[in-house]
Structure 1
Amino acid sequence: MNKYNTKLGQLLSLINRSQFYALVKSTQSDKYCKGFSTWQQLVTMCYAQIANHNGLRSLIKSLNTSGHCRYHLGIHKELARSTLLYANNHRSPEIFEKLFYALRDTLDRGRGKKLRKNFYAIDATEISLHIRDFPWALFRSTIGGIKMHTKYDINNSVPDYLFITNAKEHENHTLSEMQLIEGDTAAFDKGYCNYKNFGVFCEKGIFFVTRLKENAQYAVVESRPTDSPLIPTDQTIVFTGKKTQKTCPHQLRKVVSIDEKTNKSITILTNIFDMNAADIAKLYRARWNIEIFFKTIKQNLRVKKFYGQSKNAVETQIWIALIVYVLYLKLRQMSTYEGKNFTDFISELKVCLFERTDLFSWFVGLPPVINKPPSSCSSQQEFLL
């Protein structure tokens, strides 16, 4: 890593530039580029995500006043608002989507403590959009919005797969699109209740943990004793409804769990029979991790207000927000330090983006090592990022 880079430059250097340009070539995202490349757009929007300026005008002014710092990030001349706006509105977000997955694949996903192998939470979060500014995102007659459907790797705290739809797309229509394979375990809430999918999961060897609907019709095949008063019920059941009997004829497991703090009970439905009932309840409660992820992203990155109004601009901004999140995870793994959470990372980084001190030392809280500025000769040879 170049010791004279700014913190933003050092963070972006975690992206493999050769791999990035291979993605640019495969997606042809620079095909009609006239001076503002995909890399420059990525740098600008990553800066926008972290600095979180209220509008496009203040974003551009702030970046343009950075002078030589901007130059060494690969933006060699002052940027116009219209240039960034045009790129966001017209350049396909496909390149940034592929970059997100490429970065995710560089993470070491075998080091975390595992509740269960290949364990995922599935959920969607809604992002409201003003119908006047985003007419393509029509949800109801006076409301606009999109949904970010996510398959979240609970063991490693990273999205494994996601896609964006109009907000009117109901969750139970998307469960089959979550790229679940044999051996995977998925936890999701009642919004994803789809008995046909449950039957398919049982046939394909995909495990699930969800809530049983109150109006579900079923018969008890077997009742098992439990060792804990917090697990009053552990039963094997089969559905008896006319439609559900055909779509999901398999034996399933019903577990009733009582929350020790609130004393409220939840009825869990699963096809996992090789774990005790208390651990089944833990699996369902771990689903809450995806809610924390959504909250973290919405509070710290710019995914609710957008710098462009087209579908391309909105999706580009969301994918680049996720890229920033994965860069944080990569930095944390490379630093072997987990004491700085994402909220602290973003709030502290935004006020020192252009400082020329070591990013890793700053991340782990060591005293800053300030390097002497390079000579004018070496400055010309400095590798960008």
Structure 2
Amino acid sequence: MRRSGNLLDEHLHRLAALPAHGNTILGRDQLVKGLLLSFFDPMARSLRRIEDCGDFQGDLRLDKLARSTTADALAAFDPQLLVPLIDDLQQRVPNLGDADGLEGITRQIIAADGTYMTTLCDVAWAMRQKNRDGGVQGQVRANVQLDAGNWIPRVLTVSGDDGHSEAAAFAADLLPGVLYVVDRNFVEFGFLGAVLDKGSDFVVRIKSNQPAMTVVQTLPPSAADVEAGVIAEEVVRLPGRDAPAGLFRCITIESTDRSGESQALRLLTNLPAATVGAHVVGAVYRLRWQIELFFKWLKTWAGMDHLLSTSRNGITTQLYIAVIAVLMMYVQSGYRVSVYALAALGRVARGQMSIQEAMAVIAKRERERSLERARQARLRARKKLA
């Protein structure tokens, strides 16, 4: 692709130049290129279908990615070889600027969560999960740290039946100097302490009875807080064993769930009240939903509901390929990834459309989406006034 193509070629050359076993037929560069091309083909969602694509209209130096050979290559491929490409692409992602309604937030907001993907039951390192019919299936978890502003994955790891909690799986790969927004399954003192040790901040939803807190001070809500549904704000200490030291804020916000029922959200944060209002903390937490939307996009539209491999290396490689494709779409189009960008750039990859035609289609669809968002915002404003 236009702006990311030269960079991709550089890294493919790097992979091709690495020493390989004397009997190797499928080179690392051809494996990565073939997987990227298949990502943009909505029909190439299995090893058999990838094999059926042949040489992808001459883009590969091979007749095809043979199913058995590709399976062996995925198991042997070291996914860490793709990290330099991911890092280079992340450096090229344009800055979207500050989000509206987040006064006082100067750090990149990272939504962290895991999503489960089903694999074969005989994968020894997978987690075991019972179906409703009593059958057993294997699952692996993709641990994603996502830039909530642009849907760019910053860190991605794969977990199985390793005995660690979800929060512990993230603690080893935390980023410095960012703002983490996470849900109730991350309420672990080890995780919160690790975030603070990295010089980062957090906004975490807590349970109604956990963790134990000692109230130091009650803060009066501002007019903006009341308008946003803030019903309580307290300065607290965490007296539990191994709890991080210092003062924190516990903010309670009245909200509605998916069924329209009223609910109280309790948020714990280390963000200072002097610079970040309680209503802003609530707005930050709402950005956590972006990672759920990304997971839905990844599984529904990007076809990541089907795993190409049963090995840890192979699954991690497939997820890294998805991250690279997402980054390439963003760098190429300048817009957050969407099904429209995936479809248009997929047609470019298959030689059915020029890059200029694809950019025109993406820009048109983005204008339509922007107009629809504005229309929905006006409807919400009218309902609020009524």
> Which deviates more, 136-145 or 231-240?
136-145
Q: When the two structures are superposed, what TM-score results if normalisation uses the length of structure 1? A: 0.78
User: What amino acid maps onto 2:247 in structure 1?
Assistant: Q
The question of 1:13 aligning with 2:12 is answered no
Larger RCO (CA under 8 A, 6+ residues apart): 1
What is the identity percentage for the equivalent residue pairs of Structure 1 and Structure 2?
19
Report the counterpart of residue 376 of structure 1 in structure 2.
none
1:55-66 to structure 2, matched below 5 A, reads 55-64=46-55
- Give the TM-score normalised by structure 2: 0.78
Other-structure match for 1:238: 237
2:93 corresponds in structure 1 to 107
Q: Matched residue pairs, number? A: 341
Give yes or no for contact 2:348–2:355 (8 Å, CA) kept in 1: no
**Is 2:126 aligned against 1:137?**
yes
Secondary structure at the counterpart of residue 135 of structure 1: coil
Q: Does the residue aligned with 2:343 lie in a helix, a strand or coil? A: helix
Q: Is the 8 A contact 2:129 2:138 kept in 1?
A: yes
User: Per-residue deviation at 1:154?
Assistant: 1.6
Residue 250 of structure 1 aligns with an amino acid whose one-letter code is G
**Larger Cα Rg: Structure 1 or Structure 2?**
1
Of the structure 1 ranges 80-89 and 136-145, higher mean CA displacement relative to structure 2 is found in 136-145
Residue 38 in 1 paired to residue 28 in 2?
Answer: yes
Amino acid at match of 1:195: F
Alpha-carbon deviation of 1:233?
0.5
Specify the alignment match of 2:247 in structure 1. 251
Q: Distance in 2 between matches of 1:172 and 1:90?
A: 29
Question: What displacement does 1:195 show?
Answer: 2.0
Correspondence list, 1:235-384, <5 A: 235-241=234-240, 243=241, 247-259=243-255, 262-273=261-272, 274-333=275-334, 338=335, 341-350=337-346, 353-355=349-351, 357-365=353-361
Q: CA deviation at 1:352?
A: 5.9
**Among candidates 63, 69, 75, match of residue 77 of structure 1:** 63
Q: Would the aligned equivalents of 2:38 and 2:45 in 1 still touch at CA under 8 Å? A: no
Residues 237 and 102 of structure 1, relative CA distance in 2, 3 Å threshold? same
Question: What is the CA deviation profile of residues 14-67 of structure 1, one whole-angstrom value per residue up to 9, with x for unaligned ones?
Answer: 534224433555xx3645463422221112111222223354333222335x5x
- Report deviation, 1:120: 1.0
Structure 2 contact 15–29 (Cα < 8 Å) conserved: no
**Residue 122 (structure 1) shift:** 1.1
Local SS of the residue matching 1:365: helix
5+ residue gaps, structure 1, are: 1-8, 368-385
Residue equivalent to 2:81: 95
1:186 shift after superposition? 0.7
Structure 2 residue runs of 5 or longer lacking an equivalent are: 131-135, 364-386
The CA deviation at 1:79 is: 4.5
Distance 1:82 1:351 in 2: 27
**Contact 1:124–1:148 (CA<8 Å) still a contact in 2?**
yes
Residue matched to 1:220: 215
Superposition deviation, residue 198 in structure 1: 2.9
- The residue identity in structure 2 corresponding to 1:171 is E
One-letter amino acid of the counterpart of residue 192, structure 2: F
Matched AA of 2:278: A
